[in-house]
Amino acid sequence: MPSKYNPGEIEEKWQREWERSGAFKADAGGAGEKFYLLEMFPYPSGRIHMGHVRNYSIGDVLARFYMMSGYNLLHPMGWDSFGLPAENAAQQNNIHPAKWTYANIESMRNQFKRLGFSYDWDREVATCDPEYYRWNQWFFLKMYERGLAYKKRSSVNWCPRCLTVLANEQVEEERCWRCESEVEEKELEQWFLKITDYADELLKGCDTLTEWPERVLTMQRHWIGRSVGAEVHFPVIDGDGDDSITVFTTRPDTLYGVTFMSLAPEHPMVKDLIQGKNEEEAVRAFIERVRREEKRAGVEAVQEKKGVFTGAYCRNPLTGEHIPVYVANFVLMGYGTGAVMAVPTHDQRDFEFAREYGLPLKVVITPAGEEMEAESMEAAYEEDGIMVNSGPFDGMGNREAIEGIVDHLESEGSGKRAVTYRLRDWGISRQRYWGCPIPVIYCEKCGIVPVPNDDLPVILPEDITFTDGGVSPLKEVDRFMEVKCPACGGEARRESDTMDTFVDSSWYFLRYTSPRERSAPFKRDEADYWMAVDHYIGGIEHAVMHLLYARFFTKVLRDIGLVTVDEPFKKLLTQGMVCKEITRCPKDGYLSPEEVDEGRCRKCGDEVAIGAVEKMSKSKRNTIDPDGIIERYGADTTRLFTLFAAPPERDLEWSDDGVEGSYRFLRRVWRLVDDNSDVLAGVAPYDGAEGCDGYLREMHGLTHRTIKKVTEDIQRRNHFNTAISAIMEQVNALYQWKGEKSGKNASVFREAVESVLCLLSPFAPHLCEELWERLGMSEPLYRTKWPACREEALKVDEVFIVVQVNGKVRSRLGVAADAGEEEVRKTALLDDKVQEWIGEKAIKKVVFVPKRLMNLVVG
Residues that bind ligand ANZ (CB under 6 A): 227, 248-251, 254, 264, 331-332, 335-336, 338, 340-341, 343, 346-347, 420
Nearer to ligand ANZ, 42 or 338 (CB): 338
**Residues β-bridged to residue 536:** 38, 572
- Binds 219, which of Zn ion, ligand ANZ, none (CB < 5 to 8 A, cut-off by type)? none
456-485 residues near Zn ion, rule: CB under 5 A: 485
Cα 69 to Cα 64: distance, rounded to the nearest angstrom = 8
| Nearest distance from C-beta of residue 478 to Zn ion, angstroms | 19
**Smallest distance, Å, CB 328 to ligand ANZ?**
8
By CB under 5 A, residue 446 contacts Zn ion: yes
* Cβ closest to ligand ANZ, residue 362 vs residue 639: 362
Q: Select from ligand ANZ, Zn ion, none the partner in contact with residue 265, using the beta carbon and a kind-dependent cut-off of 5 to 8 Å.
A: none
CA dihedral 299, 301, 304, 309 (to 10 degrees): 0
Decide: residue 773, CB within 10 A, 0-12 exposed, 13-18 middle, 19+ buried: middle
CA–CA gap between residue 771 and residue 261 (Å, rounded)? 77
Question: Using CB under 5 A, which residues numbered 626 to 655 contact Zn ion?
Answer: none
d(CA 700, CA 744) in angstroms, rounded, equals: 11
CB of 354 or CB of 451, closer to ligand ANZ: 354
Choose the contact partner of 254 out of ligand ANZ, Zn ion, none; CB within 5 to 8 A by kind.
ligand ANZ
- Return the one option of ligand ANZ, Zn ion, none that residue 343 interacts with (CB less than 5 to 8 A, by type): ligand ANZ
Angstrom distance (rounded) from CA 567 to CA 220: 14
Q: Which does 485 bind (CB under 5 to 8 A by kind): ligand ANZ, Zn ion, none?
A: Zn ion
Q: Which residue is nearest to ligand ANZ (CB)?
A: 227
Q: How many residues does the chain have?
A: 859
Q: Could you tell me the smallest distance in angstroms from the CB atom of residue 443 to Zn ion?
A: 3
Residue 249 binds which entry of ligand ANZ, Zn ion, none, CB below 5-8 Å type-dependent: ligand ANZ
Task: Draw the binding track, 662-691, toward Zn ion (x: CB under 5 A; -: no contact).
Answer: ------------------------------
Nearer to Zn ion, 496 or 711 (CB): 496
Q: Which does 446 bind (CB under 5 to 8 A by kind): ligand ANZ, Zn ion, none?
A: Zn ion
Q: At what angle do helices 199-206 and 214-224 cross, to 10 degrees?
A: 160
Compute the least distance from the CB of residue 155 to ligand ANZ, in Å.
16
Q: Which does 445 bind (CB under 5 to 8 A by kind): Zn ion, ligand ANZ, none?
A: Zn ion
Quote the least distance from Cβ 189 to ligand ANZ, whole Å: 24
Subset of 232-261 contacting Zn ion (CB under 5 A): none
> Choosing among ligand ANZ, Zn ion, none, which partner's interface includes residue 515 (Cβ < 5 to 8 Å by kind)?
none
Q: Which is nearer to ligand ANZ, 105 or 224 (CB)?
A: 224
Q: Are the CB atoms for 688 and 786 separated by under 8 Å? A: no
Write 516-525 long-range contacts (CB < 8 A, 24+).
518/131, 521/135, 521/138, 521/139, 521/562, 522/562, 524/562, 524/563, 525/28
Please list every residue from 802 through 831 that binds Zn ion, using CB under 5 A.
Answer: none
Binding partner at 314 among Zn ion, ligand ANZ, none, C-beta below 5 to 8 Å by kind: none
Residues in contact with Zn ion, counted by CB under 5 A, come to a total of 7
CB 439 within 8 A of CB 140: yes
Using the rule CB under 5 A, which residue among 487, 596, 777, 802 binds Zn ion?
Answer: 487
Q: Tell me the CA end-to-end span of the chain in Å, nearest whole number.
A: 60
Q: Is 635 helix (H, G, I), strand (E, B) or coil?
A: helix
Task: Give strand ranges (E) for 273-374.
Answer: 307-315, 322-328, 339-342, 365-366
Angle in degrees, CA 127, 128, 131, rounded to 5:
75
Q: Cis peptide before 521, with omega less than 30 degrees from 0?
A: no
**DSSP for 367-391?**
-TT----TTT-SS---S--EE-S-G
- Residue 365 near residue 274 (C-beta atoms within 8 A): no
> Which of 258/443 has CB closer to Zn ion?
443
Question: What is the smallest separation between the CB atom of 480 and Zn ion, expressed in angstroms?
Answer: 18
Distances (CA, A) of 655 to 323, 613, 662: 65, 11, 11
**In whole angstroms, how close is the CB of 453 to Zn ion at the nearest point?**
18
Query: What is the smallest separation between the CB atom of 433 and ligand ANZ, expressed in angstroms?
Result: 36
Instruction: Give the list of residues 6+ apart from residue 259 with CB closer than 8 angstroms, or none.
Output: 323, 342, 343, 344, 354, 359, 360, 361, 362
| Distance in Å, CB of 535 to Zn ion, minimum | 49
By beta-carbon proximity to Zn ion, the closer residue of 84 and 446 is 446
The alpha-carbon radius of gyration of the chain (Å, integer) is 35
516 binds Zn ion (CB under 5 A): no
> Min. distance of Cβ 191 from ligand ANZ in angstroms?
24
- Least distance from ligand ANZ to the Cβ atom of residue 420, Å: 6
For residue 91, give the amino acid letter: Q
Complex with ligand ANZ: residue 159 or 331, whichever CB lies closer: 331
Backbone angles phi, psi at 828, to 5 degrees: -60, -45
488 binds Zn ion (CB under 5 A): yes
CB of 151 to Zn ion, least distance (A): 17
- The rounded distance, in Å, linking the Cα atoms of 470 and 494 is 19
488 binds, among ligand ANZ, Zn ion, none (CB under 5 to 8 A by kind): Zn ion
Tally the C-alpha atoms within 13 A of residue 636's C-alpha that lie toward its C-beta. Answer: 30
Phi-psi sector, 191: left (phi>0), alpha (psi -120 to 50), beta: beta
Q: Give the sign of the dihedral formed by CA 319, CA 320, CA 324, CA 326.
A: positive
CA distance 815 to 849: 13
SS3 71: coil
CA distance 571 to 533: 8
| Given 99, 445, 650, 785, the residue binding Zn ion (CB under 5 A) | 445
Compute the least distance from the CB of residue 490 to Zn ion, in Å. Answer: 5
Query: Choosing among Zn ion, ligand ANZ, none, which partner's interface includes residue 487 (Cβ < 5 to 8 Å by kind)?
Result: Zn ion
By beta-carbon proximity to ligand ANZ, the closer residue of 332 and 544 is: 332
**CA 117 to the chain's CA centroid:** 21
Cross-strand pairs, 246: 233
Distance of closest approach, residue 335 Cβ to ligand ANZ, in angstroms: 4
Q: Which does 338 bind (CB under 5 to 8 A by kind): ligand ANZ, Zn ion, none?
A: ligand ANZ
- Which one of 42-50, 277-285, 487-495, 723-731 is the stretch in contact with Zn ion (CB under 5 A)? 487-495
Which one, 332 or 794, has the nearer CB to ligand ANZ? 332
Using alpha carbons, list the distances in angstroms from residue 479 to 133, 433, 457, 496, 498.
20, 15, 16, 12, 17
Write down the least CB distance from residue 404 to ligand ANZ, Å.
Answer: 17
Applying CB under 5 A, the residues found at the interface with Zn ion are 443, 445-446, 485, 487-488, 490
